[in-house]
Amino acid sequence: MDLRAYFLDFWGSIIKRKFNMIAITVFIATYFGVLPSARSLIGVVAFLFAYSSIYYYNDLLDYSRDRQQGFMPRDKLLYHGAASHSDYIHLLAWSSILGISAAFLYSPALGVVTALTLAVAYLRTSISDLTVREVLLGVVELLNFEAFWIAMYGRPIPGLALPVFVTYSALYALLHALYKLRTKPLLWAVRQRWIQMLVAIVLVAAVFSIPLAASSVIHLLALLAASTLYLLLVGVQAMRYAHNVEGGMARIMKYHDAAILVTAVALMILGAWIVYAHLPSIPLPLSPPHSMVQLLSRVDDYQTHALQLAQRF
């Protein structure tokens, strides 16, 4: 196996993909005035090491199909001949066993969420139905956020913050689904019931994100600025290749990776600045329904009880 490609291309790709999610997690936590400790890096690494097994498994299953594609990212080591099937089988086994074990040693709660994340991800890979696959993709993304939050803060995502992560996860699954259906007319795609379901989840979760979002104007402005920056960096390139997406995919991905890195770094810097500078959390001039806030508060208890029950087994 080409070790340089393994660490730079394979792991570099994983870190780039997950760094954005970690940055969002850190930023949202600053709403509560907290930042992760240095020790939390151990939990994050344990989860990522276990989660890397998904990429080995997917690449092994998709190898024949990938060989028929004209473009594949450099992190596809099998496709580019930088690793063998035997290498991937060994890495799949060791990353699963050692990663889950390390997660449990770090925190039983993190171990449970890590094992659940891998189970759902493996289930998604084994299913061919696009509807189920895209819905499960959103679940996997949400579980990633849950794992990062537990690794960094030692508890499940607070109920007030959970809708933000549900919005992101459902929106990611929706956009991924639309990309998969890009050869179909857009009007046909949006008429599909499961697409409408994802849209509904995004909208409902966004509404339930209002209590947290409205609690701090400066956080909201920082989040909007970072999101706008990403859309500008990637959107301009996407528009240039609107009639030839496949042909411009390599260039679009380069801008996507750069935009993810810049946006994530900006979010973490802004979040840390807000906490360390003790900037006032001036709320927006609106009051979310009290019943909504109460419901989100009860989510904390539901998550805690679910994790406790899972740890008993």
Q: Is residue 163 part of a domain?
A: yes
Q: Is residue 16 part of a domain?
A: yes
| pLDDT at 235 exceeding the cut of 80 | no
**Lowest mean per-residue pLDDT among 9-13, 49-53, 278-282:** 278-282
Label each residue of 216-277 as H, E or C: CHHHHHHHHHHHHHHHHHHHHHHHHCCCCCCCCHHHHHHHHHHHHHHHHHHHHHHHHHHHHC
Q: Which residue has the higher pLDDT, 173 or 234?
A: 173
Q: Is residue 277 part of a domain?
A: no
- How many structural domains comprise the chain? 1
Q: Is residue 221 part of a domain?
A: no
d(C-alpha 243, C-alpha 249), whole Å: 12
Confidence of residue 270 (pLDDT cuts 50, 70, 90): confident
Q: Is residue 267 part of a domain?
A: no
In this prediction, residues 153-179 reach a mean pLDDT of 91
In this prediction, residues 30-52 reach a mean pLDDT of 93
Q: Which residue has the higher pLDDT, 68 or 174?
A: 174
Confidence of residue 69 (pLDDT cuts 50, 70, 90): low
Q: Is residue 226 part of a domain?
A: no
The structure's pTM equals 0.86
- Which pLDDT score, from 0 to 100, does residue 247 have? 58
| pLDDT at 100 exceeding the cut of 90 | yes
- Which pLDDT score, from 0 to 100, does residue 68 have? 67
**Owning domain of residue 16:** 3-215+283-312
Domain of 49, CATH number, reads: 1.10.600
- Which pLDDT score, from 0 to 100, does residue 305 have? 73
In this prediction, residues 272-295 reach a mean pLDDT of 76
Give the rounded percent of residues in the chain with a pLDDT score beyond 90: 35
| pLDDT at 112 exceeding the cut of 90 | yes
- Which pLDDT score, from 0 to 100, does residue 128 have? 84
In this prediction, residues 186-202 reach a mean pLDDT of 85
Cα separation values, 238 from 242, 243, 262, Å: 6, 9, 18
d(C-alpha 42, C-alpha 155), whole Å: 15
Q: Is residue 234 part of a domain?
A: no
Q: Is residue 262 part of a domain?
A: no
Token output for 258? 């750069």
Q: Which residue has the higher pLDDT, 305 or 21?
A: 21
